[in-house]
Amino acid sequence: MKPRVRVISTGGTIAAKTKSVTRTTGYQDIGLSADDLLQSVPGAEEYAAITTENIYSIPSSAMTGAHLLTLAKRINALLQGGEADGVVVTHGTDTLEETAFFLHLTVKSEKPVVVVGSMLPATVLSADGPLNLYNAILAASAAESRGKGVLVCMCGRLLSARDAAKTSTFRLDAFKAPEYGALGHVAGKSVRYYYAPTRPHTAQTEFNIKGIETLPRVEILYMYEDCDEHLLKAAVENGCGGIVCAGLGCGAIPPRVREYYRQLEVKPPMVRGSRVGSGYVARHGITPDDVYNTIPAGDFTVQKARLLFQLALTVTTDLEELCAIFQQY
């Protein structure tokens, strides 16, 4: 019996149409449904019994916490209810890595979930969406994909959602895992893995979103030369529940910012990340965490640190426990 794969469309470039086959930018019409996308991948039905649904039809820049929660709950219902053996989510690339990571932390199943997009609209020359989708369906139907967490499938690579990052604004080969590389690849009809995630994911995590309707509000503040406290002050005064700093180098926070934060009587917890985009932010760097009561982000990019932070805050507000979560994941 073929594995049952559900393709869920959320919109994005992969579902976009253009008026010209050479117009690769500036398009706005996200008019293709999941059924339309499936028509572009003849042969995929050899490997899976494929069904489709459309949950959103939006650019990924419009994704919100509410969208993430609805999508994760829908996938949990499909997989836990026995309606599907795997799920493919088609998604815009602007925030694809964020949605994939959120699902990586909240989907409660070992069944494959693969997030896929495209860098070119569906109707232009050499559109990459059909092959990406074909590869994603193969990956979602492969027994080898079980227990790997949520995967990102782009340009033949199978990336862990934890580590996947968009590294170019326009190149087809935009998605990579800068620090750790791909888990595997899809080549022809073959799905191959060479590595597996070692950090907790999916069914292994402590994050249960079943009863959650709204995620804690966490802001990202970008640090820069001559940065002062005004952005931090605005975030605090507007009632944010947590702050992620895109710090300098290894997570350094400029003096005026950290001193303002240190002097706050009531302060939201703060995670120190880096604006660099790769590498590791260690504890007790140039901004001592014990002095300023901050949490080092480890190897998470700031956008992924924000999502982990939001979910962590649904479990605890204790500083040491929050630090432990960042170390664990």
Find the helix packing angle between 255-263 and 230-237, rounded to 10°: 30
Collapsing DSSP to helix, strand or coil, 114 comes out as: strand
Task: Provide CB contacts within 8 A for 72, sequence distance 6+.
Answer: 102, 103, 106, 107, 209
Annotation marks residue 24 as catalytic: no
Assigned token pair, 205: 């995590």
The string of DSSP codes covering 159-179 is EETTT-EE--SS-TT-EE-TT
φ/ψ region of 156 (left if φ > 0, alpha if ψ in -120 to 50, else beta) reads left
Please tell me which residue in 10, 13, 93, 95 is annotated as part of the active site: 13
DSSP assignments along 251-301, one per residue: TB--HHHHHHHHH-SS---EEEEESSSSS-B-TTSSS-HHHHTEEE-BT--
> Which amino acids are annotated catalytic?
13
